[in-house]
């Protein structure tokens, strides 16, 4: 019997921090990263500053199933984060999106940083949903099987907004890895699909480099079976 892929509960978020609260924010979220990685069901927690907007930070978290996702929210470090968030450190309300993604391990050998991360959001026109699922699946399989600089590609549907999907990618060697992804043969059909205007609001993308810790391969974080 073929083993089913591990379901990860994931969060992509954007936080716009007041400049005078930057240091306090970095201290709080840095502690959250360290403590979350000690959780038995935590797979990944990373954050980084937007490449083009100072004091705008992007976050990605992943947990083994809903159990891990819920357990994280019962920890003292999550309570500490909630306390910090209640002290009005944000320029605008945080944007957070929860989605469920299948873990597709990378076939590439481990590669040294820097690691470029991307969080992407797209809302698919209902009549293009099936086509979207085929195209993104083919791009994901090609990326994880054939790209030596691709560490992570997670994609899943928003848990509360049908036809809205979220993507998290990690590429080794920074922009070099991302440029190799854009030039890969399996990416071209995906780009053609994107160019055919299948989304209601376009494609919303943010790029950043992890701060405080190096982005890790989710598969490497899992306990040995």
pLDDT at 223 over 70: no
Mind listing the pLDDT tens digit for each residue in 23-66?
Answer: 999 999 999 999 999 999 999 999 999 999 999 999 999 999 99
- Tell if the pTM clears 0.95, that is, is over it: no
pLDDT band at 1 (very low <50, low <70, confident <90, very high): very low
The candidate with the shortest Cα–Cα distance to 77, out of 30, 10, 9, is 30
Q: What is the pLDDT of residue 213?
A: 58
CATH of domain 7-211: 3.30.70.100
182 close to 116: Cβ distance less than 8 angstroms: no
| Rounded Cα–Cα distance for residues 108 and 98 (Å) | 27
Q: For helices 187-195 and 129-146, what crossing angle results, to 10°?
A: 150
pLDDT at 163 over 60: yes
Cα 199 versus chain centre, distance: 20
What is the DSSP code (8-state) at residue 126? G
The string over 30-44, giving b where at least 16 C-beta atoms fall within 10 Å of a residue's C-beta and e elsewhere, is: eebbebbeebebbbb
Mind listing the pLDDT tens digit for each residue in 93-129?
Answer: 999 999 999 988 887 666 667 999 999 999 999 999 9
H or E stretch covering 124: strand 115-124
Q: What is the pLDDT of residue 2?
A: 45
SS3 state of residue 37? coil
Higher pLDDT, 214 or 218: 218
Q: What is the pLDDT of residue 10?
A: 98
204 close to 122: Cβ distance less than 8 angstroms: yes
- DSSP states of 169-204 as a string? EEEETTHHHHHHHHHSTTHHHHHHHHHT--EEEEEE
């Amino acid at each position: 019997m073929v083993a089913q892929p591990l379901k990860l509960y994931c969060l992509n978020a954007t936080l716009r921090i007041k400049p005078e609260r930057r240091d306090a924010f970095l201290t709080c979220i840095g502690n959250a990263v360290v403590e979350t990685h000690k959780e038995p069901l935590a797979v990944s927690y990373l954050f980084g500053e937007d490449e083009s907007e100072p004091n705008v930070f992007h976050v990605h978290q992943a947990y083994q199933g809903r159990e891990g996702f819920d357990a994280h929210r019962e920890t003292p470090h999550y309570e500490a984060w909630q306390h910090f968030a209640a002290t009005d450190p944000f320029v605008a309300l945080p944007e957070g999106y929860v989605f469920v993604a299948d873990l597709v391990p990378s076939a590439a050998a481990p590669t040294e940083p820097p690691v470029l991360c991307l969080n992407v959001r797209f809302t698919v026109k209902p009549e293009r949903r099936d086509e979207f699922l085929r195209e993104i699946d083919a791009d994901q399989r090609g990326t994880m099987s054939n790209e030596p600089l691709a560490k992570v590609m997670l994609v899943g549907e928003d848990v509360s907004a049908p036809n809205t999907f979220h993507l998290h990618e990690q590429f080794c060697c920074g922009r070099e890895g991302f440029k190799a992804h854009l030039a890969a043969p399996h990416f071209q059909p995906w780009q053609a699909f994107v160019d055919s205007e299948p989304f209601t609001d376009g494609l919303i993308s943010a790029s950043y480099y992890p701060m405080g810790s190096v982005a890790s391969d989710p598969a490497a974080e899992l306990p040995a079976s």
